[in-house]
A and B are shown apart, each in its own frame.
Chain A
Amino acid sequence: MRHLMTNIVIAILLFSSGAIAVENEIATLRDKTPIDQQKEPNIIPKVVNKDIKKARNYPMQPPIIPHTIRGYEVNLNNNKCLSCHNRQRTEESQAPMVSVTHFMDRDGNFLAEVSPRRYFCNQCHVTQLDAKPLIENDFIDMHSLIKQKQSQILDQEY
């Protein structure tokens, strides 16, 4: 009898906790669409193609690509990006040259050409979409953080 009672209590507890979980639904890209239905797809945003450099969020951030790269081939045969951003090509193209760090092998030795490990540009460099962020981004970079701290200290002093 006692066993049965505990079982019932546990069952009730489990059930109610399950109900709470349903209430606190996690926001998903599917917008609460039932699992057996297909959500109407969102509009595909356009690639930003303004050719304007964006500030980097932190010093080591790979700069983003400010233009479309549709159909750009980066493979064994050729690298479309390098046909403008290569050292030899920048005079004609006026594109920024690939960073010198890309000429280094993993031991820090400089090579004559872009190092094979840096060959696939899109591993780090990406285009941006003209889309609203899914969640708010409150990232603060180190520089702003230090400034904030300094102004706080100054406020305290005076």
Chain B
Amino acid sequence: MKKIIQIGWQTLRRPSGYFSLGFLVLGGFIAGVIFWGGFNTALELTNTEEFCISCHEMENNVYEELKATIHFTNRSGVRATCPDCHVPHKWSDKIARKMQASKEVWGTIFGTINTREKFLAQRRHLAQNEWTRLKANDSLECRNCHNFEFMDFTEQSQRAAVQHSNTLATGEKTCIDCHKGIAHELPDMKGVEGW
């Protein structure tokens, strides 16, 4: 074992005997581009609605529920797809979220929520995860589209304008504090603040 590592280390240390420096540099560069590009393409592929609903757990439960909401169909024709709300846009945050999502791959393989009943039993837990995440990042995914600075209170209903110009403006509350269950059905809300 030690010998193999030694041989590997020696090979890395020794200058190249056959390939020119130009080949190695250019080759390394091209390989790097391909690797990095491939990695990002694959990453983007996992960031699409089709990818999300390719698992029946997502398609039959949460996606079905999304269809009836304003984030799916509305007057202006803007749709928020799964990754718009559930994956951060910033690269480092995205990678962090993707690493967390490996748990979801585990869940798919072992069928943690592969029936409606199992899903409903887990719903409070799953929702709580998302609430915690959005609360912690000040509803970042909401704010990717809904910018507080651009809000026209005169266009909002009176109630909404009062809420937004007070608690939201002061940072006392964040979007998710009030807007729970806007895209999916709610779990049992016993004990949740504000319910």
A residues sitting closer than 8 Å to B (CB atoms) are 49-51, 67-68, 70-71, 73, 76-78, 80, 83, 89, 92
Distance of A77 Cα from B127 Cα, bound (Å): 13
Known: A70-B70, A73-B186, A78-B186. A83 touches B159 (CB 8 A): no
The answer to whether B69 and A83 touch across the interface, beta carbons within 8 angstroms, is: no
From the candidates A50, A71, A76, A78, name the one contacting B195 in the complex (CB within 8 A).
A78
Which B residues are CB-close (under 8 A) to A50? 157-158
The secondary-structure label for the interface of chain A is loop
The answer to whether B195 and A83 touch across the interface, beta carbons within 8 angstroms, is: yes
1/0 contact string of B158-195 vs chain A (CB within 8 Å): 11000000000000000000000110011111000011
From the candidates B70, B157, B181, name the one contacting A49 in the complex (CB within 8 A).
B157
B-side interface residues, number (CB < 8 Å): 15
Which A residues are CB-close (under 8 A) to B187? 77
1/0 contact string of B125-163 vs chain A (CB within 8 Å): 000000000000000000000000000000001110000
B residues sitting closer than 8 Å to A (CB atoms) are 68-70, 157-159, 181-182, 185-189, 194-195
In the complex, which residue of chain A has the Cβ closest to the Cβ of B185? A73
> How many residue-residue contacts, CB under 8 A, span A and B?
34
Distance of A73 Cα from B194 Cα, bound (Å): 15
Closest 10 CB pairs between A and B? A78-B189, A77-B188, A51-B158, A83-B195, A49-B157, A78-B186, A51-B159, A73-B186, A77-B186, A71-B69
Which B residues are CB-close (under 8 A) to A77? 185-189
From the candidates B159, B182, B186, B189, name the one contacting A67 in the complex (CB within 8 A).
B159
From the candidates B157, B182, B194, name the one contacting A71 in the complex (CB within 8 A).
B182
From the candidates A51, A76, A80, A92, name the one contacting B157 in the complex (CB within 8 A).
A51
Distance of A59 Cα from B192 Cα, bound (Å): 36
Shortest distance between the CB of A151 and any CB in chain B (Å): 38
Which A residues are CB-close (under 8 A) to B157? 49-51, 67-68
Shortest distance between the CB of A15 and any CB in chain B (Å): 52
Which A residues are CB-close (under 8 A) to B186? 73, 77-78
Additional A-B contact list (13), CB under 8 Å, known A71-B69, A77-B189, A78-B188? A51-B158, A67-B159, A68-B157, A71-B68, A71-B182, A73-B185, A73-B186, A77-B185, A77-B187, A78-B195, A83-B194, A83-B195, A92-B194
